[in-house]
Every structure is written in structure tokens, then in C-alpha cells.
């Protein structure tokens, strides 16, 4: 159901700035390094070969027992349901818009930062189901002034999107490519040049001997993660310095991700008093931060500790490698050469702006770079309302590639917790998500340690803002806990394809192996 562009008339009186109040900061974290494990959920974080980290049972667990609870760090409502879903508690009404508009606190004089014309009208259409939910949102963001700044950020994003509706971003990009002169260098950063020359020499010494490192190229399959990470940073510097992909507008799904990142980054900037003790969660001692994340205390607050994001694994390297392989494979399939004569596509260590935007691998950066450009423009514009430090691509990528493959969908109607807590658990409940409406996305940084299985032993259930995880079968001590990443009713080939494309791994769970064996026997 698509939401119309007309504005709904609200029967609620406008909420003035003077009416805003800051509630006591009761959600501050105060964790001690020596707290008792009895105050923790029955889970423990362990390293898993080939899969990073995972949740394991700290003791024997009965079916129907709650094993973990988590609160979101950042969230965004789907564009299709933005007027029907409460921004705070995620209450959803598919029949009518909710009564209280979040944008009623946006200053009328906020300029979009896109043009020099008169200030735009308020465009962000987020809503609340009650004044209580709005007040909780204001308090969580550090008070009324900061909340105004956050709404200005969202409003600037919507204004930017609106200004692009009548333009063809793709045509503008092609015109710019055809008329641009190729610069001699990309980014005059001496340190970057040294790093690039160093690992270019290590990977292709014979090339460096006969020509400058700037012209050297490499096979992405032959470089280490550290070398690829340095190359990725170099390309991102070039993208920002040369203003690449700024004419490209992200699609609806990516714009939801931009709002999600905006929410998380803004909270980090504005809620420092609210999270005055989160340094304990970000403790460098591995045992300490693992116990903090699994503690009851970390789940008893309306927002997850921002520093828990630092312990999440970034998917940037996996994302870039997977998409380079996919694009390289597509190029090979379209080539008139036979597979035996194909040569792996190579990439320049120091690509020019023209190469970044026009090469076969340009799509690897286009989506993330255009999303950064959209958020950066809105970030700069909203700084006129609330002072913010400049947004860097490093900070953006920190959240973007941690959120990727780690966010949780907000589905409605949520599965009833009473059903999962009963002894009559049915496997169909695990697939109920297939028939639910996704109304938004959240980052639950303390819950990302549940790995996937197509025959999970834990089900996730949303209860308002909270995500509750319930054992669906008896789980023995030291047994790994699994959830399903989306619907698991599809055939094995479709499930594995979706997981590989969206989560960058090939599922080898017991169910997949059994079904694959059965398929092999059929042929």
C-alpha cells in the first residue's frame, strides 16, 4: 500500500518548543566489570570458525524459554508505511495514519541546503501513536533542541529526494562522464600514495619495475584483506574529493538505510549524557564487553548502548569481494571468448575519477557513495539548526557496512510471544514472518551474534521496540543458538541464493545439506 503525497489534517494541537521537557536520564548505563553472571541471559559469545562469533547456550535451556532480549540502537520506518507506524513503539495501523506528526517540531526556517530559494515546506511525514511516545523520543535524543535538529536532518533528506523526482540521475551521470576531462591524479595525499605503492609492489613487483605504481593494476582475488581495505579507502577518498555519484539518487530501500544510519549517527552525537557510562560496554577487555552485552542491564533501556556497534563485524571487505566476483562473472558470461581463454579482469591500484564511475566495477561503490552523498547534504543542511561535526565517509562506512546483513526487519503483526512461550510450539510459527508486512528496520547491536540456520532453534519475536528471542526446542549447554534470516519456506536453492546475495555466505546448515543430498540422488 503506497502512501499518498497529500498532507493529512491532524486533530492534535501543535506541540510547542516550550512544552517540551527533558525527562530524568534514568536509562544511563552503570555496568561493573565484576558483575555476577547471574545477571546475564543464558547465552555466551564464542568464536566460530568461518563465521565470526556466535551465541551459545550457557546452560541447558528448555523449549519456550526466553534466552535473550535486545533494544534497538537505530531504526527507520519504511517509506510506504511512514504515516501508519509509530516512530517510537512501532505500533502499526494499515487502515489510517497515526494522529501525531513528528514534523510539527521542525523549525519553519530550515533550508534544505540544496538551493538558494525560499525555505522548503516540511516534508518528513513520520508520526507517533501518542504524546508519550513523542516525549520518549525527545528524551532519548537529548532534549527538545536536539530533537529539532534530528527532525531537520530527516526533513532535509526528504527535501533532497523531492528535488530529484523530476530529474534523471542516470542521464546526468552519463553526460558528466562524456564531458569530463580525465584528471592526472585522483587524490594528492602522500600517505595514501605510499601505502598504495607499497602493496602494489608486493602484489605485482614485475609491473612496478617496468612502470610507475600509479599505472599498476591487480587481480582482486590475489590481494589480502588489508590490501583491499587500503584500496577501498583510496577509492572512497577519490569519490569524496571529486564529488562522484552526487547526482545519483538512492532507491527507496537505500533511502530507508540512509534514515537508519542518520538515526544511529545522530544519537551518537547528541545522547552522550543519556549514555554516560557506555565506556564499560566498549571495554577493550574481551571478557568484560561480552558479559556487558549479554547482561540484563543492557536490555533494560529504551536504546542499546551505541558503543556496542564497535564490536560488530564490518561487512565491507566481504561486500566488495562478493560484488567484484559477481560483476566479473557477469562480464565473462557476456564475452565472446570461451572460458578457457578468459583472463580475470584487473583493477587499477589508483583509478581516476573516470575509471571509478565508468569501469565494470563502478557499481560496487555507486549505491553506498550515493547514499553517503544524500546523507552528507542533509547533515550539512541540518547543522544550521543543530551544530554537528562534519560527516566523514569513514564514519558513514562504519555504520553502513555494519548494518548491512545485520539489521532486523520490523514486521507486523508481530508473532504473539505467548504462543512461542507455550509448550505447543509449531514449526510453522518460524515461517510466520513470510506473511507479515515489513514496516521498517532496526539495528540491534547486542543481538547480532545469532547466526543463521534453516532449521533454527530460536525464534525472534518483536514486542514493541524490544526484540525477544525464545528457544523453540530444548538447547543443551554449549550448543550454538540459531535464528533464521528471513523466510525459510523456499526451496534450498532459492534460500542459499538469497543468503549469498544478501548476507555474503553459503548456508551449510543440516537442513540444507540433507535437501541438497536428496536433490543429488534425484539426478
Model confidence over 398-454: pLDDT tens digits? Answer: 999 998 878 898 888 776 654 554 444 444 454 455 567 889 999 999 999 999 999
Among all chains, which residue has been given the C-alpha cell 570458525? 49
Close Cβ partners of 216 (under 8 Å, ≥ 6 residues apart): 200, 204, 207, 208, 348, 349
If one counts the domains in the chain, the total is 1
Q: Is residue 49 part of a domain?
A: yes
Q: Is residue 11 part of a domain?
A: no
pLDDT score recorded for residue 123: 74
Q: Is residue 152 part of a domain?
A: yes
The count of C-alpha atoms lying within 13 angstroms of the C-alpha of 290, restricted to the half-sphere facing its C-beta, is: 15
Any idea which of 31-40, 150-159, 255-264 has the lowest mean pLDDT?
A: 31-40
The CA distance from 207 to 156, in Å, is 48
The CA distance from 435 to 343, in Å, is 45
pLDDT score recorded for residue 192: 40
Pick the most confident of 75-84, 188-197, 471-480, 482-491.
471-480
Among all chains, which residue has been given the C-alpha cell 590490501? 227
DSSP at 472: S
Q: Is residue 398 part of a domain?
A: yes
Helices (H), 164-251: 169-179, 190-203, 205-210, 225-241
Give the percent of the chain with pLDDT over 90. Answer: 37
Q: Is residue 498 part of a domain?
A: no
Asked if the model's pLDDT at residue 266 lies above 50, the reply is yes
Average pLDDT, the chain: 76
The CA distance from 10 to 480, in Å, is 50
Mean per-residue pLDDT, 349-363: 90
Mean per-residue pLDDT, 222-248: 94
Asked if the model's pLDDT at residue 268 lies above 90, the reply is no
Asked if the model's pLDDT at residue 222 lies above 70, the reply is yes
The CA distance from 512 to 496, in Å, is 8
Close Cβ partners of 374 (under 8 Å, ≥ 6 residues apart): 157, 160, 161, 249, 250, 255, 258
Mean per-residue pLDDT, 62-72: 94
Any idea which of 32-36, 395-399, 433-437 has the lowest mean pLDDT?
A: 32-36
Higher-pLDDT residue of 289, 256: 256
Q: 191: pLDDT confidence band, cut at 50, 70 and 90? A: very low
Give, in degrees to the nearest 5, the angle at Cα 312 between 309 and 313: 140
pLDDT score recorded for residue 170: 53
Q: Is residue 188 part of a domain?
A: no
The CA distance from 264 to 444, in Å, is 11
pLDDT score recorded for residue 175: 64
pLDDT score recorded for residue 352: 92
Cell numbers given for 344: 580475470
Any idea which of 77-81, 192-196, 350-354, 380-384 has the lowest mean pLDDT?
A: 192-196
DSSP at 17: G
Which of 108, 19, 26 is closest to 384 using CA atoms? 108
pLDDT score recorded for residue 46: 92
Higher-pLDDT residue of 297, 330: 297
Mean per-residue pLDDT, 91-114: 70
Q: Is residue 446 part of a domain?
A: yes
Q: Provide the domain limits for residue 274.
A: 42-172+206-489
Q: Is residue 500 part of a domain?
A: no
Element (H, E) at 44: strand 43-48
pTM, two decimal places: 0.77
Close Cβ partners of 95 (under 8 Å, ≥ 6 residues apart): none
Which of 107, 81, 118 is closest to 409 using CA atoms? 81
pLDDT score recorded for residue 6: 32
Higher-pLDDT residue of 218, 277: 218
Q: 519: pLDDT confidence band, cut at 50, 70 and 90? A: confident
Amino acid at each position: 500500500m503506497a502512501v499518498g503525497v497529500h498532507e493529512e489534517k491532524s486533530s492534535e494541537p501543535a506541540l510547542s518548543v516550550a512544552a517540551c521537557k527533558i525527562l530524568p536520564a534514568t536509562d544511563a548505563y552503570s555496568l561493573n566489570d565484576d558483575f555476577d553472571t547471574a545477571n546475564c541471559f543464558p547465552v555466551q559469545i564464542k568464536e566460530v570458525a568461518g563465521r565470526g562469533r556466535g551465541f551459545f547456550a550457557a546452560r541447558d535451556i528448555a523449549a519456550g524459554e526466553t534466552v535473550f532480549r535486545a533494544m534497538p540502537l537505530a531504526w527507520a520506518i519504511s517509506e510506504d508505511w511512514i504515516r501508519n507506524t509509530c516512530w517510537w513503539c512501532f505500533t502499526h495501523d494499515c487502515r489510517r495514519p497515526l494522529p501525531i506528526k513528528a514534523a510539527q517540531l521542525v523549525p519553519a526556517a530550515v533550508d534544505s541546503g540544496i538551493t538558494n530559494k525560499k525555505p522548503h515546506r516540511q516534508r518528513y511525514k513520520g508520526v507517533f501513536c501518542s504524546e508519550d511516545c513523542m516525549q520518549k523520543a525527545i528524551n532519548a535524543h537529548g532534549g527538545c533542541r536536539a530533537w529539532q535538529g534530528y527532525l531537520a536532518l530527516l526533513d532535509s533528506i526528504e527535501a533532497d529526494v523531492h528535488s530529484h523526482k523530476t530529474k534523471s540521475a542516470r542521464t546526468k551521470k552519463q553526460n558528466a562522464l562524456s564531458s569530463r576531462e580525465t584528471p592526472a591524479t585522483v587524490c594528492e595525499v602522500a600517505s595514501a600514495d605510499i601505502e598504495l605503492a607499497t602493496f602494489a609492489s608486493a602484489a605485482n613487483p614485475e609491473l612496478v619495475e617496468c612502470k610507475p605504481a600509479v599505472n599498476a593494476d591487480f587481480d582482486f582475488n590475489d590481494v589480502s584483506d588489508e590490501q583491499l581495505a587500503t584500496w577501498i579507502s583510496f577509492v572512497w577518498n577519490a569519490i569524496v574529493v571529486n564529488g562522484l555519484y552526487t547526482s545519483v539518487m538512492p532507491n527507496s530501500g537505500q533511502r530507508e538505510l540512509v534514515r537508519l544510519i542518520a538515526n544511529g549517527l545522530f544519537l551518537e552525537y547528541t545522547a552522550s549524557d543519556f549514555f554516560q557510562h557506555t565506556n564499560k560496554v566498549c571495554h577493550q577487555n574481551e571478557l568484560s564487553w561480552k558479559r556487558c552485552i549479554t547482561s540484563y542491564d543492557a536490555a533494560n533501556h529504551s536504546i542499546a548502548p551505541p558503543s556496542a556497534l564497535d564490536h560488530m563485524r564490518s561487512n565491507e571487505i566481504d561486500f566488495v569481494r562478493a560484488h567484484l566476483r559477481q560483476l566479473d562473472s557477469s562480464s565473462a558470461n557476456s564475452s565472446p571468448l570461451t572460458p578457457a581463454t578468459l583472463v580475470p579482469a584487473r583493477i587499477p591500484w589508483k583509478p581516476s575519477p573516470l575509471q571509478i564511475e565508468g569501469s565494470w566495477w563502478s557499481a560496487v561503490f555507486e549505491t553506498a557513495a550515493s547514499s553517503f552523498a544524500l546523507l552528507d547534504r542533509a547533515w550539512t543542511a541540518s547543522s544550521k539548526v543543530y551544530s554537528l561535526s562534519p560527516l566523514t565517509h569513514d564514519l558513514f562506512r562504519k555504520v553502513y557496512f555494519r548494518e548491512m546483513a545485520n539489521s532486523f526487519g520490523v514486521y507486523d503483526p508481530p508473532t504473539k510471544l505467548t504462543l512461542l512461550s507455550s509448550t505447543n510450539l509449531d514449526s510453522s510459527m518460524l515461517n510466520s514472518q513470510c506473511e507479515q508486512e515489513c514496516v521498517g528496520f532496526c539495528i540491534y547491536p547486542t543481538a547480532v551474534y545469532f547466526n543463521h540456520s534453516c532449521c533454527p532453534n530460536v525464534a525472534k519475536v518483536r514486542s514493541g521496540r524490544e526484540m525477544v528471542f525464545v528457544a523453540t526446542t530444548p538447547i543443551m549447554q554449549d550448543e550454538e543458538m540459531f535464528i533464521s534470516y528471513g523466510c525459510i519456506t523456499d526451496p534450498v536453492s532459492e534460500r542459499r541464493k538469497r543468503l549469498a546475495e544478501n548476507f555474503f555466505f553459503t548456508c551449510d546448515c543440516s537442513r540444507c545439506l540433507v535437501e541438497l543430498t536428496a536433490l543429488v540422488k534425484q539426478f
